[in-house]
Every structure is written in structure tokens, then in C-alpha cells.
């Protein structure tokens, strides 16, 4: 009798587990069907950057917001950032992507690293926040200006990143090229690890501040972020107007004083084939949930400034949102 009772109890447990699993599958299928019928797509991929930058944490939180709100399963993927992201978008391997505004313009025009490889499926969702060019070194390296980088071992960012182009252009206004430094093509995390180990002398990192990789380095090393002199900033902006002056405020990194540098705009772009309805929802989520993006740069993300520096077509879904908010799209 006791054995029958145990078997009956086990049967009930198994049956309830199957029913719960079936219910979960039905719910998942229902969400998938809803996403497919309303938005014409079941899943999205957001191309971000390395885990030590700013794109990745913001992209991860945005992906969760999109999944929870629309039912479209959304994932943030790591990458080498701007250049690779736009190539992923063009190839259909990502539907949303973070990028520097200057790199997006190169992609649309088919210039610089996109020479003969123009990106045609790219539309803007909006600009987000300034990305400071941070030239990071350690106190023991005794590097005090860009001019001191000559002959040093310097990471200029991954091969497929906008940071590399920023480094080349800043060195240019100082009368140098990347041939004047011993270059390494490292991600943000790898750059700061190499600085910690002493295997490089300095690194260029273009990112929203505070940057996680630099915060990690600061915990173990006394760091220096190099100032750009005002006359060099003027030369840079005159030659490449997509740059702007920027100041990294004292205290952004513990014990580091104000740093005067250049910045480009971070922006979110979208594949032109994504439906107007879905891009509208993503745009609304982004600009009305900045407190849920999990990064201090969220305070810079506002719809009022989202079209500043956008020099190419805005996706119709984003356009609809801005018009509803009374924001000029001219």
C-alpha cells in the first residue's frame, strides 16, 4: 500500500511538472506569435562593444527592456565596436547597433575604412551622449602629453573600432602618425590589463565616461589621462568637424583632475528593414527609460538632443516618435 502511495505521488509530481512546462511553452509561443504578428520579427541582436566599455552595459539593459515590453527576444552581443557593428548591421547579423557618429558617417559615405564598402542598410535612431577620447597612462610611465607618445608602446584600439581612427587623427594634429608609435590593437579590457602589467605605455579609449575598464585599472594603478592642448583641439575640430570639445570632470575617476579632450557622439542606429512599429517602440523605450539603462551616461540621453549631429536618414519609426514629442526633424 505504501509503495502504491509513493508511486501515485511521484506520478502526480511528474504530471504537474509536464503541465507547468507546457504552460510555459504556450506562454513563450504566445509571446513569439505576438512579436511576429505585430512587428514582423521574433528576435533582435544589438551589436555593442567590449565588456569594459559603455556600449555593452547600456545595450544589455536596453535589450531586457525591449524583450519585456515587446515580446521580441533581444540580445546584446559583444564586438569590436563601431566599425564591426556597422558591418554586422549591413550583413543582417545585427538589427540595432551602437556606433560613433563619425564612423556612421564614413559608412554612409563609403570613405575611410569603408572605402569601396559603403553601408546601405543604415538609418539613425538617434544620438545618445558624448564619447570622450581618453588617452590613459600610468604615473610611472612619465607621459605628460601626446607628444610624449612618440616611440612608446601604445594601444590604439581594436582594428574594427572607431578608437583607431580617433588615435590616428589626434596624432596627426601633433605632427605624428601611427608609424611614430609602437602600436597595439587591443580591446578596452586588454588595454587596461596591459597597462597594469606594464607591457604597454599608454592606450586610447573612446568611450562614455566613466569607462568600466579604466575604473578597474584605477583600482590597482595611479593613472593619468592626458589633456589635449586648446590649440590642438581647435586644429582637430577645424579639420574634422564631427569632434567637439569635452571635459572629463574631476572625480569621474578617483583622484583624477579635470581632463580637457575631444569627443564624438555615441549613437544608436538600426537596419532599415526593421518595421516602423518596432523601431517606434524601441525609440520610446530608450528615451523614456533612461533611469533603467544602468549607467551614469543615461542622464545624457534625451529625446530633445537625439537629432544633434545626425547627418543621415532617420528611421521612420524613430521619426514618428520625435514628431509626437514635438521635436523638429528638419
* CB distance 136 to 202 below 8 Å: yes
Q: What is the pLDDT of residue 29?
A: 52
For residues 223 and 139, what is the distance between their CA atoms, to the nearest angstrom?
6
Q: Place 2 in a pLDDT band, splitting at 50, 70 and 90.
A: very low
Residue pair 225/247 in contact (Cβ under 8 Å)? The answer is: no
pLDDT value at residue 308 = 83
Measure Cα distances from 264 to 85, 237, 241 in Å: 17, 10, 10
pLDDT for 60 beyond 60 = yes
Give 63-109 as a DSSP string.
HHHHHHHH--EEEEE--S-HHHHHHHHHTTS-SEEEEEHHHHHHHHH
Using alpha carbons, select from 73, 70, 77, 72 the residue that is nearest to residue 55.
77
pLDDT, averaged across the chain: 90
Phi then psi for 240, rounded to 5 degrees?
Answer: -130, 90
What is the end-to-end Cα distance of the chain in Å, rounded? Answer: 81
pLDDT at 30 over 80: no
Residue pLDDT, tens place only, 208-236: 999 999 999 999 999 999 999 999 999 99
245: its cell numbers: 570639445
| pLDDT over 50 at 6, yes or no | no
**pLDDT cut 90: percent of the chain above it:** 82
pLDDT of residue 35: 73
Partner residues linked to 138 by β-bridges = 223
pTM: 0.83
Assigned fold of 37-129+265-324: D-Maltodextrin-Binding Protein; domain 2 (3.40.190)
Number of residues written out for the chain = 330
Which pLDDT tens digit goes with each residue over 141-200? 999 999 999 999 999 998 878 999 999 999 999 999 999 999 999 999 999 999 999 999
Instruction: Give the pLDDT score at 159.
Output: 85
Helix or strand run (H / E) with residue 225: strand 223-225
User: Contact at 8 Å (CB) between 128 and 268?
Assistant: yes
CATH of domain 131-264: 3.40.190.10
All three cell numbers of 74: 533581444
Task: Work out the average pLDDT over 293-309.
Answer: 92
Closest CA to 281 of 36, 38, 43: 38
Q: Tell whether the model's pLDDT for residue 27 goes beyond 50.
A: no
Check whether the bond before 210 is cis (ω within 30° of 0): yes
In the block, cell 533582435 appears at 44
C-alpha dihedral, 41 to 43 to 49 to 53, nearest 10°: 110
Provide mean pLDDT across the span 16-23.
54
Domain borders along the chain are 37-129+265-324, 131-264
Distance of CA 115 to the CA centre of its chain: 23
What's the grid cell of residue 301?
A: 540621453
pLDDT tens string 247-276: 999 999 998 999 999 999 999 999 999 999
User: Which pLDDT does position 289 carry in this prediction?
Assistant: 96
Q: According to the model, what pLDDT value does residue 3 have?
A: 55
131-264 shares the fold of 37-129+265-324: yes
What is the reported pLDDT for 33?
Answer: 60
- Average pLDDT over every residue of 72-93: 96
Residue 265's SS3 state is strand
Taken in order 168, 207, 128, 50, is the CA torsion positive or negative?
Answer: positive
Amino acid at each position: 500500500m505504501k509503495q502504491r502511495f509513493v508511486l501515485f505521488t511521484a506520478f502526480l509530481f511528474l504530471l504537474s511538472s509536464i503541465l507547468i512546462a507546457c504552460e510555459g511553452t504556450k506562454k513563450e509561443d504566445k509571446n513569439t506569435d505576438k512579436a511576429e504578428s505585430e512587428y514582423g520579427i521574433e528576435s533582435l541582436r544589438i551589436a555593442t562593444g567590449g565588456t569594459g566599455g559603455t556600449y555593452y552595459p547600456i545595450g544589455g539593459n536596453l535589450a531586457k527592456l525591449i524583450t519585456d515590453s515587446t515580446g521580441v527576444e533581444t540580445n546584446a552581443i559583444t564586438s569590436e565596436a563601431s566599425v564591426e557593428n556597422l558591418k554586422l548591421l549591413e550583413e543582417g547579423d545585427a538589427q540595432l547597433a551602437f556606433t560613433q557618429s563619425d564612423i556612421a558617417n564614413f559608412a554612409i559615405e563609403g570613405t575611410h575604412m569603408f572605402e569601396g564598402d559603403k553601408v546601405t542598410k543604415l538609418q539613425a535612431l538617434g544620438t545618445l551622449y558624448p564619447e570622450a577620447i581618453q588617452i590613459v597612462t600610468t604615473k610611472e610611465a612619465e607621459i605628460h602629453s601626446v607628444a610624449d607618445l612618440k616611440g612608446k608602446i601604445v594601444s590604439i584600439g581594436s582594428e574594427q573600432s572607431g578608437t583607431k581612427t580617433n588615435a590616428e587623427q589626434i596624432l596627426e594634429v601633433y605632427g605624428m602618425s601611427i608609424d611614430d608609435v609602437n602600436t597595439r590593437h587591443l580591446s578596452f579590457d586588454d588595454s587596461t590589463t596591459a597597462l597594469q602589467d606594464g607591457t604597454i605605455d599608454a592606450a586610447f579609449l573612446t568611450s562614455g565616461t566613466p569607462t568600466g575598464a579604466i575604473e578597474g585599472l584605477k583600482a590597482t594603478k595611479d593613472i593619468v589621462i592626458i589633456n589635449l592642448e586648446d590649440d590642438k583641439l581647435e586644429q582637430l575640430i577645424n579639420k574634422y568637424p564631427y569632434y567637439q570639445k569635452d571635459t572629463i570632470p574631476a572625480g569621474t575617476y578617483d583622484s583624477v583632475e579635470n581632463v580637457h579632450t575631444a569627443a564624438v557622439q555615441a549613437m544608436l542606429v538600426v537596419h532599415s528593414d526593421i518595421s516602423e512599429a518596432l523601431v517606434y517602440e524601441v525609440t520610446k523605450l530608450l528615451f523614456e527609460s533612461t533611469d533603467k539603462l544602468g549607467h551614469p551616461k543615461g542622464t545624457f540621453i534625451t529625446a530633445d538632443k537625439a537629432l544633434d549631429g545626425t547627418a543621415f536618414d532617420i528611421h521612420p519609426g524613430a521619426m514618428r516618435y520625435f514628431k509626437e514629442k514635438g521635436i523638429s526633424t528638419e
